[in-house]
């Protein structure tokens, strides 16, 4: 029936962990008592990805210059780079990351955010990372990277706002 | 603000229940089988020892965290990052109006050592303040040994990212982190890496969800990756956040799995502002002028995202930066 616990109660023999996905997600929300919903910028990663074009970088969180971007991954992305470390979490699906050590970065050392590179990057191949659900990869500063996926997937990127970051708060957030 | 130059005292003898009493400035702390008794020049207060020790454990482990750590509606601390205020009634509208609120400012090492001493003396062998109620015995009763290993767990703080060579490493059975009973269904597979020779230190990834499924603590954010001052601080949550966190900056929550409900109140008065329900994939900001307490019916994975810049509290306090994250 269940398992006795150190606390003196009994709990279930097993539990089901609930994750979200493009195909299936439930969204919560802000129940306002005395506040403005916009102060919470409440959104859902999978809802944002479901309404995005492939490889758009849509900010779902911002704290001064820093952002969390949601990316709908579909097919093969253009090559991108940033002057600082970034981190990519596969929130749904399976995604391969290809990395190249740029021989000559187009970015200044203090440049913020990621930019798309035109064409193929020049430099040494660093390798590949095969990500599945819940995996997090380092996108090293100064590297070129691209994502490849066989099926629509979702990435969350820890980065700094850059020229390609999309801000669509009124579209993606609860407003009332 | 000038920090007081007052030291901590521990009573020479124990009370009939086996516990020492402590003083920090004009604050006095005593416990018996069920309760902690806190007194200060203008008042006194009681808390369940269970709730007090859970809150005290977080305040110590987080080194007073960002902003305000309310143990309940009366007692708590404010971090000034070098000194810490210890207060009673300061963020309670009734205490303020009655002019019964009281606070002292102490150098961080002084209050840190005081709180560590209380936690060590008052935590019995049967109780783990970091654990969920199902995972630990009781805090109650007369003095019954100690649990030093549980209350002095090392806090994880990756410099770059977990799994990077030389940085924090992934959790395994062998390293003492079995999969938590609520996360037995979480895939334990790690990413497949294909580094070219010479790039083994930079072609790096790990399973964040497997890592979190092996967390042995609740409500204890720890850094897994850092993009300059942007810190990913995921944590696993079960039951109730033992403190009411008062923000001194905007922080963000990303619900990675399951569900948490947050009660959100005005930071200074405690007036209710909202109730936030977060499900897997939801993203929500906690404004810089609120306090919040979370409820997680099942163990869940929460990504707390912080901006660690030391400039932010002053920018917000001086009105140069808004208390909410974005304008739209």
Give the residue among B106, B127, B297 at the shortest CA–CA distance from A18.
Answer: B297
How confident is the model at residue B316, as a pLDDT? 85
- On the question of pLDDT at A100 being above 90, the answer is yes
How confident is the model at residue B9, as a pLDDT? 87
Percent of chain B whose predicted confidence (pLDDT) is above 90: 91
Q: pLDDT tens for residues B156-215?
A: 899 999 999 999 999 999 999 999 999 999 999 999 999 999 999 999 999 999 999 999
Are the C-beta atoms of B104 and B97 separated by less than 8 Å? no
- On the question of pLDDT at A75 being above 60, the answer is yes
Q: How many CA atoms lie within 13 A of B249 on its CB side?
A: 23
CA closest to B197 among chain A residues: A126
In the structure, what pLDDT confidence band is assigned to residue B155 with cuts at 50, 70 and 90?
A: confident
How confident is the model at residue B4, as a pLDDT? 52
How confident is the model at residue B42, as a pLDDT? 92
State the nearest Cα–Cα gap between A68 and chain B, in angstroms. Answer: 9
Mean pLDDT on A37-52: 98
Buried b (16+ CB within 10 A) or exposed e, B26-54: ebbbbbbeebbebbbeeeebebebbbbbb
How confident is the model at residue B36, as a pLDDT? 98
**Topology of domain B181-216+218-317, CATH:** Jelly Rolls (2.60.120)
Phi (first) and psi of residue B316, to 5 degrees:
-75, -45
List all residues 6 or more positions away from A79 whose beta carbon is below 8 Å from its beta carbon.
A100, A116, A117, A119, A120, A121, A144, A145, A146
Mean pLDDT of chain B: 95
List all residues 6 or more positions away from B293 whose beta carbon is below 8 Å from its beta carbon.
B240, B241, B243, B244, B245, B262, B263
Contact list, A27 vs chain B (CB under 8 Å): 279, 281-282
Q: Give the CA diameter of chain B.
A: 70
**Domain coordinates of chain B in residue numbers?**
8-151, 181-216+218-317
Angle between helices B108-122 and B49-61 (to 10 degrees): 140
- On the question of pLDDT at B1 being above 50, the answer is no
Q: How far apart are CA B290 and CA B15, in angstroms?
A: 39
How confident is the model at residue B2, as a pLDDT? 45
Q: Is B314 exposed, middle or buried (0-12, 13-18, 19+ CB in 10 A)?
A: exposed
Are the C-beta atoms of A61 and B285 separated by less than 8 Å? yes
CA closest to B276 among chain A residues: A30
3-state SS record for B109-130: HHHHHHHHHHHHHHCCCCCCCC
Residue A113: which domain range?
53-169
How confident is the model at residue B87, as a pLDDT? 98
DSSP code, position B181: G
DSSP three-state, residue A133: coil
CB contact under 8 A, B254 and A31: no
In the structure, what pLDDT confidence band is assigned to residue B252 with cuts at 50, 70 and 90?
A: very high
Q: How far apart are CA A85 and CA A138, in angstroms?
A: 7
Q: Which one of B205, B259, B321 has the shortest CB-CB distance to A138?
A: B205
How confident is the model at residue B130, as a pLDDT? 97
CB contact under 8 A, B277 and A68: no
DSSP three-state, residue A176: coil
Mean pLDDT on B11-25: 95
DSSP code, position A87: E
CATH of the domain at A78: 2.60.120.10
State the nearest Cα–Cα gap between B199 and chain A, in angstroms. Answer: 6
User: Interior CA angle at B258 toward B217 and B301, to 5°?
Assistant: 35
Domain contains A111: yes
CA closest to B210 among chain A residues: A134
Between strands B251-255 and B290-307, the pairing is antiparallel
Neighbours of A151 (CB within 10 A): 12
Give the residue among A89, A86, A44, A92 at the shortest CA–CA distance from A66.
Answer: A86
Domain contains A65: yes
CB contact under 8 A, A61 and B254: yes
In the structure, what pLDDT confidence band is assigned to residue B152 with cuts at 50, 70 and 90?
A: very high
Q: Residues, chain B, total? A: 328
CB contact under 8 A, B191 and A129: yes
Mean pLDDT of chain A: 97
Number of domains in chain A: 1
CB contact under 8 A, B281 and A91: yes
CB contact under 8 A, B199 and A63: no
Mean pLDDT on A99-117: 96
Domain contains A9: no
List all residues 6 or more positions away from B298 whose beta carbon is below 8 Å from its beta carbon.
A15, A17, B182, B238, B258, B259
Domain contains A70: yes
In the structure, what pLDDT confidence band is assigned to residue B314 with cuts at 50, 70 and 90?
A: confident
How confident is the model at residue B6, as a pLDDT? 59
3-state SS record for B150-168: HHCCCCCECCCECCCCCCC
Mutate to test the interface with A, among B138, B283, B313 (most CBs of A within 10 A): B283
Are the C-beta atoms of B309 and B226 separated by less than 8 Å? no
DSSP assignments along B203-269, one per residue: S-EEEHHHHHHT---SS---BSEEETTEEEEEEEEEEE-SSEEEPSS-EEEEE-SSEEEEEEEETTT
Give the residue among B232, B216, B221 at the shortest CA–CA distance from B161.
Answer: B232
Q: pLDDT tens for residues B36-78?
A: 999 999 999 999 999 999 999 999 999 999 999 999 999 999 9
Domain contains A128: yes
How confident is the model at residue B8, as a pLDDT? 81
Q: pLDDT tens for residues B259-276?
A: 999 999 999 999 999 999
The question of ipTM being above 0.95 is answered as yes
Contact list, B324 vs chain A (CB under 8 Å): 38-41
Domain contains A27: no
Mean pLDDT on A16-22: 98
Q: How far apart are CA B179 and CA B162, in angstroms?
A: 18
Q: How far apart are CA A68 and CA B45, in angstroms?
A: 42
Mean pLDDT on B79-97: 96
CB contact under 8 A, B274 and A30: yes
Q: Which one of A31, A35, A43 has the shortest CB-CB distance to B283?
A: A43
DSSP three-state, residue A122: coil
Between strands A165-166 and A57-63, the pairing is parallel
Percent of chain A whose predicted confidence (pLDDT) is above 90: 98
- On the question of pLDDT at B3 being above 60, the answer is no
Q: How far apart are CA B74 and CA B53, in angstroms?
A: 15
State the nearest Cα–Cα gap between B2 and chain A, in angstroms. Answer: 30
Mean pLDDT on B18-25: 97
């Amino acid at each position: 029936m269940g398992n006795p616990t150190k606390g003196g109660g009994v709990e279930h023999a097993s539990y089901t962990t609930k994750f979200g996905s493009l195909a299936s997600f439930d969204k919560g929300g802000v129940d306002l008592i005395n506040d403005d919903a916009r102060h919470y910028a409440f959104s859902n990663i999978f809802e944002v990805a479901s309404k995005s074009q492939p490889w758009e970088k849509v900010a779902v969180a911002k704290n001064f210059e820093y952002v969390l971007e949601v990316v709908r991954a579909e097919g093969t992305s253009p090559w991108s780079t940033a002057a600082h470390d970034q981190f990519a979490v596969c929130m749904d699906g399976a995604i391969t990351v290809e990395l190249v050590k740029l021989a000559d970065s187009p970015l200044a050392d203090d440049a913020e955010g990621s930019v798309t590179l035109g064409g193929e990057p020049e430099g040494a191949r660093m390798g590949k990372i095969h990500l599945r659900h819940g995996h997090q990869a380092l996108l090293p500063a100064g590297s070129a990277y691209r994502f490849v996926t066989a099926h629509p997937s979702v990435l969350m990127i820890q980065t700094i706002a850059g020229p390609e970051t999309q801000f669509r708060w009124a579209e993606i957030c609860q407003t009332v | 603000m000038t920090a007081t130059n007052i030291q901590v005292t521990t009573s020479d003898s124990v009370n009939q229940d086996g516990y020492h009493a402590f003083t920090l400035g004009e604050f006095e702390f005593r416990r018996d089988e069920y309760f902690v008794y806190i007194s200060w020049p203008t008042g006194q207060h009681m808390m369940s020892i269970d709730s007090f020790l859970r809150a005290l454990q977080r305040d110590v482990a987080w080194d007073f965290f960002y902003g305000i750590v309310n143990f309940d509606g009366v007692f708590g601390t404010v971090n000034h990052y070098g000194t810490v205020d210890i207060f009673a009634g300061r963020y309670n509208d009734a205490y303020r109006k009655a002019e019964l609120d009281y606070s002292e400012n102490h150098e961080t090492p002084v209050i840190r050592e005081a709180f560590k001493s209380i936690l060590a003396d008052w935590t019995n062998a049967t109780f783990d303040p970091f654990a969920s109620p199902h995972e630990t015995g009781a805090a109650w009763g007369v003095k019954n040994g100690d649990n030093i290993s549980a209350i002095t767990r090392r806090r994880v703080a990756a410099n770059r990212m977990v799994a990077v060579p030389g940085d924090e490493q992934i959790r395994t059975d062998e390293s003492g982190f079995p999969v938590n009973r609520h996360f037995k269904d979480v895939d334990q597979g790690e990413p497949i890496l294909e580094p070219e020779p010479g790039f083994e230190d930079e072609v790096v990834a790990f399973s964040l969800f497997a890592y979190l499924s092996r967390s042995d603590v609740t409500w204890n954010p720890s850094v897994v990756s850092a993009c300059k001052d942007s810190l990913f601080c995921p944590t696993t949550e079960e039951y109730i956040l033992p403190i009411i966190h008062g923000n001194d900056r905007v922080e963000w929550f990303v619900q990675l799995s399951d569900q948490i409900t947050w009660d959100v109140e005005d930071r200074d008065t405690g007036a209710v502002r909202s109730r936030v329900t977060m499900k897997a994939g939801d993203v929500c900001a906690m404004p810089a002028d609120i306090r919040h307490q979370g409820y997680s019916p099942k163990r869940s994975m929460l990504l707390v995202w912080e901006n660690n810049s030391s400039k932010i509290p002053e920018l917000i306090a001086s009105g140069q930066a808004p208390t909410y994250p974005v304008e739209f």
